[in-house]
């Protein structure tokens, strides 16, 4: 087990991440443990059945990964991942009404010009 203090984490986060790939890193805040950093590869957690798709789905749903990156993390083709999230009721494309209206106006303009 290794330790890093909060200021060390702020100054050099890549060092703490490198260490977490091989061992558990305890983040200390004023001599008290504040957080744990554990490398997912070291845990082997991504190799358990269903973990990759679940993690990819949650990260995509919350806007942290694009659709393409989430499908790679899930180890699914893009079409398989789209089907997967659609079955869960997660929208693949999120547009505001104003964006959809603007897109339709652009399409109308383009069609009128061709």
Residue 48 has pLDDT above 80, yes or no: no
The separation between CA 66 and the C-alpha centre of its own chain, rounded to angstroms, equals 8
pLDDT band at 78 (very low <50, low <70, confident <90, very high): very high
* Pairing label, strands 2-5, 25-29: parallel
Contact 41, 47 (CB under 8 A): no
Q: What's the mean pLDDT in 13-21?
A: 88
Helix (H) or strand (E) holding 52: helix 51-61
Order of strands, edge to edge, in the sheet holding 25-29?
2-5, 25-29, 32-37
Q: What b/e string do you get for 53-64 counting C-beta neighbours within 10 Å, with b at 16 or more?
A: bebbbebbeeee
pLDDT tens by residue, 79-100: 999 999 999 999 998 878 888 8
Cα end-to-end distance, the chain, whole Å: 66
Q: Specify the pTM.
A: 0.61
Residue 65 vs residue 38, higher pLDDT:
65
Locate 18 and state its tokens.
Answer: 């490198």
The C-alpha atoms of residue 19 and residue 8 are separated, in whole angstroms, by 13
Domains recognised in the chain with CATH numbers: 2-42 (3.40.1620), 49-114 (no CATH)
Instruction: Report the pLDDT value the prediction gives residue 93, as an integer from 0 to 100.
Output: 86
């Amino acid at each position: 087990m290794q330790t890093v203090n909060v200021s060390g984490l702020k100054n050099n986060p890549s060092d703490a991440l490198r260490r977490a790939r091989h061992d558990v890193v305890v983040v200390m805040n004023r001599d008290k443990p504040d957080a744990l950093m554990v490398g997912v590869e070291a845990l082997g957690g991504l190799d358990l059945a269903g973990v990759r798709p679940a993690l990819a789905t949650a990260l995509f749903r919350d806007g942290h990964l694009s659709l393409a990156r989430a499908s790679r993390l899930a180890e699914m083709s893009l079409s398989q991942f789209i089907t997967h999230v659609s079955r869960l009721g997660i929208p693949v494309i999120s547009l505001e009404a104003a964006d959809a209206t603007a897109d339709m106006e652009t399409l109308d303009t383009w069609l009128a010009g061709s």
